[in-house]
Amino acid sequence: MSESVTVRRLNAVEALAAVEGLADVLVDCVEGGASVSFMLPLARERAMDFWRGVAEGVERGERALLVAQDHGGRILGTVQLITAMPDNQPHRADVAKMLVHRSARRAGIAQALMAAIDDVARCEGKTVLVLDTVTGGDAERLYERAGWQRAGVVPKYALMPDGAFCATTFFYKHL
């Protein structure tokens, strides 16, 4: 990863202040074909509303939000740790919305975000992490290199932004 990129956890106030930059990353990823819960066209206001909701979740202590920023403060990537789990799963968390702007890919940012999310999970007392990703995508290799174990594939689990079905691969990691 470039030395001019910093990965850090945002508090609720910082998360709310970062909504526009986070929306830029989300819109770029969806426009690039990422299946991350949104369909094309993704209106900027819809993306901003999503990130405002994330900031509210940070405020409630239900999730951690990490960003990767360049030396000028521009958000290049992000990932979340969803810590609000049922009573019988206090040791578990979900990793969600691992996004890197297309202009910043292949620079080690995703790898740095995944290492940082492991550290946050440990700090939060989480020992089992779960995530899902599009089957056959670049992210599968990233997760495997980061020590994640493939749990299985569900065909037609979600839609790509253009409306086509995609299979989803579930992964887990024990910390």
- Run means of pLDDT, 10 residues per run, the chain, 175 residues: 88 98 98 97 98 98 98 97 98 98 97 98 98 96 97 98 98 98
- What angle is formed at CA 54 by the lines to CA 51 and CA 58, rounded to 5 degrees? 140
Residues 143 and 129 sit within 8 Å (Cβ to Cβ): no
Chain CA centroid to CA 145, Å: 17
Collapse the DSSP code of 26 into the 3-class scheme (helix H, G, I; strand E, B; otherwise coil) and give the result.
helix
In a domain, 46, yes or no: yes
Q: Is 163 helix (H, G, I), strand (E, B) or coil?
A: coil
Q: What is the CATH number of the domain that holds 163?
A: 3.40.630.30
Question: What are the tokens at 58?
Answer: 């940070």
Give dist(CA 133, CA 74) in Å, integer: 25
The domain total for the chain is 1
In angstroms, rounded to a whole number, what is the distance separating the alpha carbons of residues 42 and 38? 7
User: 101: domain range?
Assistant: 6-174
pLDDT given for residue 2 in this prediction: 62
- In this structure, is residue 121 part of a structural domain? yes
1 in a structural domain: no
Residue 12 lies in a domain: yes
